[in-house]
Amino acid sequence: MNRMHRWKMSVTGWVDGVLAQIENHEATVSSAIGRVRQAAARARVQLKRVERDQRALRELLLKEEGAVEAWLRRAKEASEEEKALECLRRHKASARRAEALRQRLSEHERSHKELSEGMRMLNERLSELNERRNLMRTRQSRAEAAHGMVHANRPIGDLEDVFERWEARVGEIEIASECERPIDSFEAELLGAEEDAELLIELEELRREEG
C-alpha cells in the first residue's frame, strides 16, 4: 500500500512538474506576444495622429499657397507704389510660411512612412509569434500523448505485483460469494427428498443382501 502510494505521488509530481513547465513557457511567450501587441497598438494610435496632422498641414499649405498667389497678383495690380510694396512684402511672408509648411509636411510624411513600416514589422512579428505558439502547443500535446502511451505500457516498480495481489483477492471474494449464495428453500426441499430416496434404495439393497 505504501509503495502504491509512493508511486501515485511520484506520477502526480511528474505531471505537475510538466504542467508547470508548460505554463511557464506559455506564460513567457504570451507575455512577449502581449508586449508586441501593445507596441503595435501604440504605433497605430501614433500613426492616426500623424495622419490627422498631415491633413491639417495640407489644408494650411493650400491656403498659404493661395495667399502667395493672391498677394503677388495684388502687388502687380496695385496702382499705388506703397500698396504694391506692402502686397509684395506679404507675398514673400506667405511664401516663407508656405515653405515652412512644406518642410513640416515632408517630416510628417517621413514619420508616417517609418511608422507604417514599423507597424508592418510588428504585425508580421505578432503573426509569427502566434503561429509558433500554436505550433508549440500542438507539439507539446503530441509529445505528452506519446510519452503517456510509453509509460502506460511500461511496468512501473511493483505495480505488476500489486495487480497480481489485487486479482488474487478478487478471485477469493468471487469464490466466497459463490459459496455463500442465498439458500432456495424449495430447491433445498427437492434436494433433500432426492437424497432420501437414494438412501432408501441403498437401504433396500443392503437388506436384500442380508436376506
Q: Which has the minimum average pLDDT: 78-92, 134-148, 151-165, 185-199?
A: 151-165
pLDDT given for residue 148 in this prediction: 65
Residue 68, Cα to own-chain centre: how many angstroms?
A: 60
As a whole number, the mean pLDDT across the chain is 78
Q: pLDDT: is 196 or 153 the higher one?
A: 196
Q: What is the pLDDT, as a whole number, of residue 156?
A: 57
Instruction: Write phi, then psi, for 197 (nearest 5 degrees).
Output: -65, -40
Task: Sketch out the chain's domains with CATH numbers.
Answer: 2-156 (1.10.287)
What pLDDT, on the 0 to 100 scale, is given for residue 2? 56
Report the C-alpha gap between 60 and 72 in whole angstroms: 18
Residue 203's pLDDT band (cuts 50, 70, 90): confident
**pLDDT tens digits along 37-57:** 888 888 888 888 989 999 999
Residue 90 vs residue 188, higher pLDDT: 90
- The DSSP symbol for 79 reads S
DSSP string of 94-154, one letter each residue: HHHHHHHHHHHHHHHHHHHHHHHHHHHHHHHHHHHHHHHHHHHHHHHHHHHHHHHHHHHTS
Find all residues with CB under 8 Å of 78, minimum gap 6, and list them.
84, 87
- Which of 40-54, 132-146, 184-198 shows the lowest per-residue confidence on average (mean pLDDT)? 184-198
**CA 160/CA 145 separation, integer angstroms:** 22
For residue 103, pLDDT over 50 is answered with yes
Position with higher pLDDT, 23 vs 43 = 43
23, 98 Cβ separation under 8 angstroms: no
Tell me, what DSSP letter sits at residue 182? P
- The pLDDT-based confidence of 133 (bands split at 50, 70, 90) is confident
Judge residue 108's burial from the number of C-beta atoms within 10 Å of its C-beta, 0-12 exposed, 13-18 middle, 19 or more buried. Answer: buried
